[in-house]
Amino acid sequence: MSVKKVPMRDGYGEALLELCRQKEDILVLDADVSKSTRTVWVHDKYPEYFLNMGISEQDMVGTAAGLALSGVTPFVSTYCVFLCGRAWDQIRTTVCYNDLNVKFGGAHAGISVGPDGATHQALEDLALMRVLPHMTVIAPCDAVETKKATLAVAKYPGPCFLRFGREPVPVITDEDSVFEIGRANILREGGDAAVFAIGAEVYEALEAAEQLSSEGVEISVINMHTLKPLDGACIERMVRSCGAIVTAEEHQEIGGLGGAVAEYLALHCPAPMETVAVRDSFGESGDPDELMAKYGLNASAIIDAVHRVIARKAKA
């Protein structure tokens, strides 16, 4: 596949500009990383919709909670690792307990952040956000979907968390692709196994599917953009049609997509399952491609996981 690559955060910035253009009652908050998160576009074009909170994530989240109490919809933007880690208690007790209409844009998630190293590679955020009552958790797969997801959460009640990476990633959806919060998108159907992927892993899963197909293995690929609420009906359908499940995410194996799907399978429809995820370790500095390979997150790792799960299905 040869496709255009765009960073997902561009979609976030474009959506925020559109919300400003429509004069929505929003305010974009950032913690001194506005060039990275693309909220600088709002700062430059609609300064009245932008507030730089300085390097103070906890205060930023609390301020957002107050704005939401006044009826304004705040978009809280910074690096994912500082947002979800540094300000978790603020998100839990002040935003989620009050069930406030605060939207979070977590940038630079996943190991593909690259050279900045482990401190800046959020690999725990999905687990941290998924466990919170009232929270909606979304990780779009490309810039076009990020834009749609940002516009969608603006209209969706309650706290919502959006996760996106740093690197340009292939654009695999288009303006006409459907995006509905909580409804997984089946991108490809095959009966040997089903790969549920989230974020940039969706493209890796599609690459894996192409290569597997050339070997005669046909898999389904599902874009699980919404981690919470989880599309259980889609999981059950795939268990029925494929009988073998793989999850793929740029996140710890514990608590993210793999954890959520494993919970669902164990409770509702047990089936052999393999995960493609970081194995309980921190990342390190390196080129994104090198890191994706070393930590077992690229298409080749997905292919291996598919082979493993198909072998388990055969034994079952």
Partner 1 sequence: MQTEQVKAMANTVRRDILGMICRAGSGHPGGSLSTAELLTVLYFEVMNVRPEDPDWPDRDRFIISKGHGVPTLYSVLARKGFYPLDWMDGLRRLGSPLQGHPHADRVPGLDCSSGSLGQGLSVANGLALGLRRHGSQARVYCLMGDGELQEGQIWEAAMSAAQFKLSNVCGIVDWNHVQLDGTTEEIMDVGDLTKKWADFGWNVIECDGHDPDDVLRAFTAAKACTDKPSVILAHTVKGKGVSFMENKAAWHGAAPNEEQFAAAMAELDAKEA
Chain residues in the site for partner 1 (CB under 8 A): 27, 51, 53-54, 56, 58-72, 74, 89-90, 92-94, 97-99
Output 74 or 170, the one with its CB closest to partner 1.
74
> In angstroms, rounded to a whole number, what is the distance separating the alpha carbons of residues 68 and 47?
19
Output 79 or 179, the one with its CB closest to partner 1.
79
> In angstroms, rounded to a whole number, what is the distance separating the alpha carbons of residues 251 and 125?
8
Maximum alpha-carbon separation in the chain: 62
**CA-to-CA separations, 212 to 189, 218, 220, 223, 313, in angstroms, rounded:** 13, 7, 11, 18, 17
Q: Supply the minimum distance, in Å, between the C-beta of residue 64 and partner 1.
A: 6
Active site residues per annotation = 57
Q: Supply the minimum distance, in Å, between the C-beta of residue 164 and partner 1.
A: 24
Give the Cβ contact number of residue 1 at 10 Å. Answer: 8
Q: Supply the minimum distance, in Å, between the C-beta of residue 161 and partner 1.
A: 18
Output 65 or 208, the one with its CB closest to partner 1.
65
Q: Supply the minimum distance, in Å, between the C-beta of residue 57 and partner 1.
A: 9
Output 65 or 242, the one with its CB closest to partner 1.
65
> In angstroms, rounded to a whole number, what is the distance separating the alpha carbons of residues 47 and 40?
9
